[in-house]
Amino acid sequence: MRLGRHELTLEPRPALPAVYAVLGAVVAILLALVLASVLFLSADAPLFAAYRTVFSYAFFNPHGVLATAQRSIYLLLCTYAFLVPLRAGLWNIGLPGQVYAGALAAFAVPFALRATGSPPALPAGVLVALMVAAAATAGAALGGFAGLLRARLQVNEILVTMMLNSILVWLVAYMIKEGGPFMGATAEGESFSLPPPLYAPLLQGVPFTALLALGAAVFLDLLFAKTALGYRIRAFGENPSAARYGGIIPVTLSLFVFLLGGAFAGLAGYHYFAAVPGVYKIPGNYGYYGDLGFYGIISALIARGSSLGAVPIAVLFAGLSLGARFAQGALRLPFGVDYALLGLLMMTFIASHVLYQFRLIWRRVEAQAPAIAAEMSRE
Amino acid sequence: MWELLARSLEASTVFLFAALGELVDQRAGVLNVGLEGLMLFGGTAAFITAQTTASYPLGFLAGMALGAFLGLAHGFFSITLRGDQVVSGMGLWILSFGLTTYLGGPRTGPLGLERIPGVLGLSPFFPIGVILVAAVWFLLFRTSLGLAIRSAGENPAAAEASGVSVVAIRYLCVIGGGTLAGLAGATYTLSYNPVWTYNFLMGWGFVSLALVFFSMWNPWILLAGASLFGVMWQLSLSPELVLPGVLSRYVWRTVPFAITIPILVVISTSWFRTRWGLAKPEALGRSYVKG
C-alpha cells in the first residue's frame, strides 16, 4: 500500500522464538476482552462493574469457582479431542457429536442393567468404571469412524464429523424425548436421573475426572515431545508427503488420532452429564452443552497444540463463559455474551496468527521520476 | 403434495445458492469451509435489516453485502497472506456462530413482515436459482473469464503465464461466492423460514459444501443434487406424509445427514475418482505463490 512517500507492506517473518507464541496468545485473549467491552458498553452497563461481576463470580464466588472447575474439565477434555487430530493436520469438529455419544453410552450402562430386571449385582465402583469405559469407547468409535474414512478414502473429515454432530443431536432427542428409551419417569424431555450410588466420586467437590483431565495434559505433551509415535504424528501433520516418503504410514495415524481424540470427547460427555453434582442426567438443553465444546477448538488453536498450555486457557474460558452468563442475569446484559466472546476470540486469534507469521513494514519510497530525469539529462 | 414439492424446492434454493457460490470459489482454487458461517452472518444481517427497515430488498442487500465482505476477508487471508484456507474458513464459521448468536439473540422470534408472495405457492427464488445455474454454467464453460477462472483453479502458474491474473480472478470468485452465500442465508431467514432462532442453520451450510463435492463441480448436477436434498429435507421434517407412524420423527431428522456420509464415501473411492471424478480442480485448497 502506498501512502504518499511511504510504503506499507506485509512481509513473511523469519521464525520467532517460542516466547512470542505465548505472548501472542496472551495478547489475543486480552484483545478479545477489550473488544468484548464494546458489548458491555452498548448494553449501558458500567464497564468495570461488568468485568468485576464476571471475574468475581467465576473465580472468587465459592459456588462459581466449583462451577468453573467443573466446566474447565469439560472444556479441557474437548480441547484434547480437537488437539490430538490437529497435530496430525486433521480437523475434528465433531466434538458435540462425540460428547453426546459418550453421554448416551454412559447412561446405557445403568439403563441396560435396570432393564434386565435384577437389581445391579455389581458394586457401584465397577458400574462407574463401566460407565467411564463405555463413554470413552463410544466417543472413540464415532471419532474413529471419521478417522477411518479419512485414512482409507481421503473423505473430508470436516464434513463427516459435522454430519455426525447433526445425527447425534437428533438421536439424543429421540432417546430422551417423547417417550424415548432414556426418558425420565417424572420429567418430560430429559433423561432419567442416575441413582445416587452411581454418582462419580468427588474430590473437594470436584469429580475425579479432574485427575483424568490434568493427567492427560501431561501425558499428551510427553507423547508429542518425547515419543516416536508423537513424532510421527507431528511429522505427518506438518508435511504429509515428506512423512510418507520417510516411511510413516498415514492410515494408522489418521485412525489413531481420531480414536484418541474421540475418546477424550466421550469422556467429556460422561463428565458433564454423569459426573457433575446437580446434573446426573441428560438435560433438555443438552445442545447448549454440546456447542460449548467448540470452545475446545479455540483453546487448542490458541495453545498452539500444547496440552499443558491449554490448561490455563480452558480455565479462563470456563470462567468467562460462566461469569458472562451470570453477569447477563445480574446486569441484565443481552443474551449470548458468552458466544460473542467465542467469536471475538477467533478473530483475535487469526489476527495474532497473521502477525506471528508476517510483519508490517513501513518504509520510505525514493521518488523515481527525478532520478530518471537526471539520468536523461546526463545523456 | 404440490405444497410439499413447492416447499422442497424452496429448501433446495437455499442449498443451491450457497453451493453455487462455493462451486465458483472452488473452480478458482479456493476452498471455503466456512460456508455455514457466511450463511449465518448473511441470514442474520438480512433478518435484522429487514425487521428494522420493514424492507425486503434492503434485507437481501444487507445479507449479500455482508456475505461479499466475508468472502473478501477469506480471500485476504488465503490469497494475499497465503494462509491455510481451512484455518480461515473454520475461523469464519466459529466467528459467525458466536457473533450471530449474540446479535440475533434479542430478536429471537418471527420476522413479522408479510410473506414474500409466490406464484402458485412456489417462491420466486427457485426460478432465480435455475437462471443462476444457467448463468454460472455459461460463465464457466462458454466465456474467456470462465476459462481464466477454471485455469486459476487447475494450474495457476500456467494461467499466470498465459496472462491471467490469478490473484484478481480468485478475489473476484471469493467475493462472488460470498455474495451468493449471503443470499442463501437471506433466503433462509426472509423467505424459507422467517423466524430467528439460536443456530438456525444447524448444518445447512455443511450440507451445501458436501453438495459441491457431489456435483463434480458442474452447476447442472449441482441443481439436481440440491433439488434432491431439498425434497429429502422436507420429507425428514414431515415423515408422516410417506410412512406414518414408522420410527420417531427425531430419527427421520437424521436422514439427510446420514445419507451424505455414504455419498461422500462413494465419490471418494478410487473407482469413482478414476472414472467420473476427474473434474476436481487440481489446485483446490492450495495457495498460489507467484514465481
Question: Of the given ranges (A117-126, B115-124, B218-227), which has the lowest mean pLDDT?
Answer: A117-126
Query: Which residues of chain B are within 8 Å of residue A163 when distances are taken between CB atoms?
Result: 203, 206-207, 210, 257-258, 260-261
Question: Of the given ranges (A7-21, A148-162, A347-361, B28-42), which has the lowest mean pLDDT?
Answer: A7-21
What residues contact residue B183 under an 8 Å CB cut-off, 6+ apart? Answer: B17, B21, B42, B60, B63, B64, B67
In chain B, % of residues over pLDDT 70 = 99
Amino acid at B216: M
Please check whether residue B226 is in contact with residue B82, taking contact to mean a CB–CB distance below 8 angstroms.
no
- Residues A105-130: what's their mean pLDDT? 79
What grid cell was written down for A351?
A: 489476527
Cα A135 from Cα A209, distance rounded (Å): 12
- Whether A158 sits inside 8 A of B33 (CB atoms) is yes
Question: How many Å lie between the alpha carbon of A22 and the closest alpha carbon of chain B?
Answer: 19
What are the pLDDT digits (tens) for A167-185? Answer: 999 999 999 988 788 888 7
Higher-scoring residue by pLDDT: A61, A12: A61
What grid cell was written down for B224?
A: 439436481
Task: Determine the pLDDT at residue A22.
Answer: 83
Q: Where are the alpha helices (DSSP H) in chain A?
A: 18-42, 47-59, 62-87, 95-115, 124-153, 157-176, 209-226, 228-238, 240-245, 250-270, 286-292, 295-302, 307-330, 337-357, 369-378
- Residues B160-189: what's their mean pLDDT? 95
The answer, for B202 touching chain A at a CB cutoff of 8 Å, is yes
So what's the ipTM on this one? 0.90
Please check whether residue B10 is in contact with residue B64, taking contact to mean a CB–CB distance below 8 angstroms.
no
Amino acid at A309: G
- Whether B96 sits inside 8 A of A343 (CB atoms) is yes
Mean pLDDT estimate for chain B: 90
Give yes or no for residue A264 having a pLDDT over 70.
yes
Amino acid at B256: P
Nearest residue on chain B to A10, alpha-carbon basis: B81
Task: Determine the pLDDT at residue A144.
Answer: 95
Cα B49 from Cα A365, distance rounded (Å): 44
- Whether A342 sits inside 8 A of B250 (CB atoms) is no
Beta bridge partners of A144: none
Cα B27 from Cα B213, distance rounded (Å): 11
Whole-structure pTM value: 0.89
User: What does each C-alpha distance from A153 to A183, A338, B268 come to in angstroms?
Assistant: 38, 38, 6
Residue among A278, A285, A292, A284 nearest A180 (CA): A284
Question: How many Å lie between the alpha carbon of B130 and the closest alpha carbon of chain A?
Answer: 26
Q: Give exposure, A284-322, as e/b (b: 16+ Cβ within 10 Å).
A: bebbebbbbbbbbbbbbbbbbbbbebbbebbbbbbbbbb
What are the pLDDT digits (tens) for B166-175? Answer: 999 999 999 9
Question: How many Å lie between the alpha carbon of B261 and the closest alpha carbon of chain A?
Answer: 6
Q: Given the C-alpha cell 464497564, which residue does it identify?
A: A47
At residue A375 the predicted structure's pLDDT band, cuts being 50, 70 and 90, is: low
Among the partner-chain residues B86, B95, B268, the one whose CB lies closest to the CB of A155 is B268
Task: Determine the pLDDT at residue A94.
Answer: 93
How far from the centroid of its chain's Cα atoms is residue A337's Cα? 18
At residue A251 the predicted structure's pLDDT band, cuts being 50, 70 and 90, is: confident
Cα B25 from Cα B22, distance rounded (Å): 5
Query: Which residues of chain B are within 8 Å of residue A340 when distances are taken between CB atoms?
Result: 98-99, 101-103
